[in-house]
Amino acid sequence: MSDNLDPISQAIRIQTPRTAQGEHSTPLYLTSSFCFDDADAMRAAFAEESDDNIYSRFSNPTVDEFTKKMVMLEGAEAGFSTASGMAAVVGSIMALLKNGDHLIVSSSIFGNTNTFIKKYMPNFGITYTMVQAGDESAWEAAVQPNTKMVYLETPTNPQVEVLDLEWIGKFTKKHNLILNVDNCFATPILQKPIDFGADLVIHSATKWIDGQGRVLGGVVVGRADLIREIYLFCRVTGPSLSPFNAWVLSKSLETLDVRMERHCANALKVAQTLENHPQVLSVRYPYLPSHPQYAIAKKQMTAGGGVFCFEIKGGVEAGRKFLNALNMLSVTANLGDTRSICSHPASTTHSKLTEDERLAVGITPGLIRVSTGLEKVDDIIADILQALEKAV
């Protein structure tokens, strides 16, 4: 296949070689191990003198196809796919940091990533400093002689805060730090962190990449030398992506570009509609001019993404009533689906925190997070508007 194709075309056309059946769609290699012609071929594979597959914890053609597409889309050198987004988070940190190293991490990160860094990393002698996204002097002040990596997400969850990748890319180069970016909310269609100096990009493929709420998956792509270490760590510790999930995810990449276009168009239209609604105190969406980092979002993203949040008048009680009044939108904890989803963090995912702890991470009492699906936008708006009426 021609290397001149656009990465989006490659994400549609890359596939493992056809079998003797000549199938048009990509084959699924549902096997745990692979056979060798003779003892020497097996020896050569173990000695890494050949690229032959050995065992699906190490490599598998269907998994490699998905990885190759993600490497292409992100403009990376190499990649490794994992069983979930969290396996990508943990693998990319634990393979590269050791006892005595220090990590700088943005304070707005996915809940389980936060728990991993705070609760488990110290067990291995790895320390961290959490810094507020927009506070450049705090990032500078956090650098220590043993700092090795910077870890962040943008846009963040659920406040869709946008971090300046260009500034952080220069900052990490200046201090010779590995920049590890969770690009889950944007996908490579909207944002390519490597263009701004990221060394590693990770994804929860469970979200927009699958985009249909079916399978768990994750991937790390980036610099070949770093990916090699992550691969060696993962092949020993075992968080490899299942070939079946890889097959689903690889097919999903064929439609990622068109899906994201519609997700983003729908999200922008719904967010604009709610911005002037009397029962809505505020709306946060990276591509609304009212967003505090609108200029940065315009610089580093090609669209605003599928997620926005808004603050409903009436606090926790109004938030609960609003969710109960929805007819079409799903009430579930996931995001990045063909089906629009609403969640109310204060009474669900973050209900165990105190009010002060919630406010510190931007979870206000009436905050509603919306993951905009692919339904007709007028149907999404109509459902939200009727539920707002019942939430008074």
Ligand X SMILES: *Cc1c(COP(=O)(O)O)cnc(C)c1O
Residues that bind ligand X (CB under 6 A): 84-86, 89, 110, 113, 153, 157, 182, 184, 204, 206-207, 216, 218
What is the rounded CA–CA span in Å between residue 3 and residue 183?
A: 25
Judged by DSSP in three states, 331 sits in strand
> Whole-number minimum distance, CB 201 to ligand X, in Å?
12
Q: Is there a contact between 69 and 12 (Cβ–Cβ < 8 Å)?
A: no
**Chain position carrying tokens 């728990």:** 115
Point out which residues pair with 152 in neighbouring strands.
Answer: 181
Toward ligand X, which CB reaches closer, 333 or 392?
333
Residue type, 273: T
**Chain position carrying tokens 């109310």:** 344
What is the rounded CA–CA span in Å between residue 301 and residue 115?
A: 28
Using only the alpha carbons of the chain, give its radius of gyration.
22
> Whole-number minimum distance, CB 185 to ligand X, in Å?
6
Q: Is there a contact between 67 and 185 (Cβ–Cβ < 8 Å)?
A: no
What is the rounded CA–CA span in Å between residue 191 and residue 302?
A: 7
Toward ligand X, which CB reaches closer, 139 or 208?
208
Toward ligand X, which CB reaches closer, 61 or 85?
85
Toward ligand X, which CB reaches closer, 92 or 206?
206
Q: Is there a contact between 207 and 184 (Cβ–Cβ < 8 Å)?
A: yes
Distances (CA, A) of 123 to 94, 99, 255, 341: 12, 9, 42, 37
Toward ligand X, which CB reaches closer, 64 or 182?
182
> Whole-number minimum distance, CB 345 to ligand X, in Å?
13
What is the rounded CA–CA span in Å between residue 223 and residue 97?
A: 16
Toward ligand X, which CB reaches closer, 53 or 108?
108
Toward ligand X, which CB reaches closer, 256 or 377?
256
Closest chain position to ligand X (CB):
85
Sheet hosting strand 367-371, strand order edge to edge: 280-284, 307-312, 367-371, 341-343, 330-331
Toward ligand X, which CB reaches closer, 101 or 153?
153
> Whole-number minimum distance, CB 333 to ligand X, in Å?
9
> Whole-number minimum distance, CB 17 to ligand X, in Å?
29
> Whole-number minimum distance, CB 218 to ligand X, in Å?
5
What is the rounded CA–CA span in Å between residue 265 and residue 271?
A: 10
Cα distance between the two ends of the chain? 58
> Whole-number minimum distance, CB 205 to ligand X, in Å?
7
> Whole-number minimum distance, CB 316 to ligand X, in Å?
23
